[in-house]
Amino acid sequence: DVKVTQSSRYLVKRTGEKVFLECVQDMDHENMFWYRQDPGLGLRLIYFSYDVKMKEKGDIPEGYSVSREKKERFSLILESASTNQTSMYLCASSDTPYQETQYFGPGTRLLVL
């Protein structure tokens, strides 16, 4: 069974704080993704990575950065959290860019006050 875990289910932070969201997958997948999910909107891709130390911007990278120092771990960083970054953050992984299935973690619900 593929397992994608995220460091926190719920997080409350203050405006201006630096926030780290961690994602770990145990299936040796090449590709990892960070999305945010907001009511009434589809999942929106923030960043993705096809290999260690490699990152590509998605559709909404502004205000975020990522780190992939090890294959199994992909971190999302909010350099200076703002209230409009209050959202559900979902991490996913897949074996190749063309694989049918992305496997998702349980999500981190972030509230920025």
Lookup: tokens for 95: 């074996």
Query: Which positions ≥6 away from 79 have C-beta within 8 Å?
Result: 18, 63, 64, 65
Q: Which is nearer to other proteins, 43 or 77 (CB)?
A: 43
DSSP 3-state assignment of 55? coil
Give dist(CA 103, CA 32) in Å, integer. Answer: 9
Residue given tokens 């961690």 in the structure block: 22
Q: What is the identity of the amino acid at 102?
A: Q
Nearer to other proteins, 16 or 106 (CB): 106
Shortest distance, position 43 Cβ to other proteins, whole Å? 4
Determine the Cα–Cα distance for residues 23 and 110; give it in Å rounded to an integer: 14
| Rounded least distance, CB 41 to other proteins, Å | 6
| Minimum gap (Å) between residue 105 Cβ and other proteins | 6
CB of 94 to other proteins, least distance (A): 10
Q: Which residue, 2 or 82, is less far from other proteins as judged by CB?
A: 2
Instruction: Summarize as ranges the residues that interact with other proteins (CB under 8 A).
Output: 4, 40-45, 48, 58, 90, 97-98, 100-107
